[in-house]
Amino acid sequence: MEPTIVSGKEVSNKVKDDIALEVEQIKVNGGKVPHLAAILVGDDGASRTYVNAKVKACERVGFGSTLVKLDADISEADLLTEVQKLNNNPEIDGYIVQLPLPKHIDEQKVTEAIAPEKDVDGFHPVSLGKMLLDLPSFLPATPAGIVEMLRHYNIPTEGKHCVVIGRSHIVGSPMSVLMARNAYPGNCTVTITHSRTQNLKEITNQADILIVALGKPEFLTADMVKEGATVIDVGIHRIEDSSKKSGFRLLGDVKFDEVAPKCAFISPVPGGVGPMTIASLLKNTLLAVKLNG
């Protein structure tokens, strides 16, 4: 079977075009132009790439953007001061603190210091609690992007069995909530699996929709997938490769070449979930202006 490739690149371009049109309208009407900020601590290569992509996406849709770069050895107290500055800056509508943070800093403490009305990553307990209660809120950007992709490709979800691999607070866990809620996409029977799951292969073989977010390169193989399934690959790994100009190539959590022929729909890496995460972040920032403006 030839699968349909779920192109996050294409869908995210459409989302960004729609946002750009809305920003033009805001400018015509003299409204507040959305402004997204990002705090980047240290110089981890992948984090730098992601944050730069977020700044570039802001430019493309006409948002203002601010990048706050801090040294890896900044104290937790000083980082919390920077967070307070953004909380109190009326120009900034929403902001993110790029994760992971250096080991000496408590990520949870920093996440909870972000003003919930500016929490466009959707990681604050207030945002996650509102999501559980079906209240309007900032949805975590990666799960929200996946939902948007499923919607764009009209992938059936009602009554389907969705298996999520991975229970992280930023992807697996919120994804399981969104796929179970009474909505489209949603209304799935959801199974969440993790490192202690027994008989994983038997479970994944029952999945109509597989969300793979455990963070292991090429973990999901063809023998774990039912014929006609939809597979969404959330993994992104830099694998050293001297034949590439960058010195690395990108792999997902799915062994794409052998899994794809069994699928009805499959998302690639790169060009799948990654660009959707950024598109969702922009959507959340626009929402912040509407909610707070």
Asked if 36 and 58 touch (Cβ cutoff 8 Å), the reply is yes
Contact status: 204 vs ligand GUN (CB under 6 A): no
Nearer to ligand GUN, 49 or 81 (CB): 49
CB of 156 to ligand GUN, least distance (A): 27
Return the DSSP state at 195: T
Any catalytic annotation for residue 109? no
Enumerate helices (H) and strands (E) in the chain, giving the number of each.
Answer: 10, 11
- Using the contact rule CB under 6 A, the part of the chain among 6-14, 92-100, 101-109, 244-252 near ligand GUN is 92-100
**121 touches 140 (CB < 8 A):** yes
By beta-carbon proximity to ligand GUN, the closer residue of 142 and 204 is 142
Q: Is 127 one of the binding residues for ligand GUN (CB under 6 A)?
A: no
Structure tokens at 286: 């626009």
Tokens representing residue 156 in the block: 């059936």
Token digits of residue 171: 């992807």
The answer to whether 99 contacts ligand GUN (rule: CB under 6 A) is yes
Q: Which of residues 43-62 bind ligand GUN (CB under 6 A)?
A: none
**For ligand GUN, which residue of 113, 141, 179, 259 counts as binding (CB under 6 A)?**
141
Query: Exactly one of 7, 137, 142, 157 binds ligand GUN (CB under 6 A); which one?
Result: 142
**Looking at beta carbons only, is 99 or 203 nearer to ligand GUN?**
99
The vertex-140 CA angle with 74 and 71, nearest 5°, equals 10
Q: How far is the CB of 46 from ligand GUN (least distance, A)?
A: 8
Catalytic residue among 16, 93, 119, 121: 121
> Could you say whether residue 96 binds ligand GUN (CB under 6 A)?
yes
Least Å distance, CB 38 to ligand GUN, is 8
Residue span binding ligand GUN (CB under 6 A) among the ranges 91-99, 101-109, 129-137, 161-169: 91-99
Count other Cβ atoms within 10 Å, centred on residue 25: 10
Among this protein's residues, is 106 annotated catalytic?
A: no
121 is a site residue for ligand GUN (CB under 6 A)? yes
Catalytic residue (one of 98, 208, 253, 262)? 98
CB 167 within 8 A of CB 137: no
Residues 263/231, Cβ–Cβ less than 8 Å: yes
* Cα–Cα separations (whole angstroms), residue 127 to 6, 23, 118, 193, 250: 28, 24, 10, 23, 31
Helix (H) or strand (E) holding 257, with range, is: helix 256-259
Q: How far apart are CA 44 and CA 248, in angstroms?
A: 15
82 binds ligand GUN per the rule CB under 6 A? no
The footprint of ligand GUN (CB under 6 A) covers 96-99, 121, 141-142, 170, 277
Residues labelled catalytic: 54, 98, 121
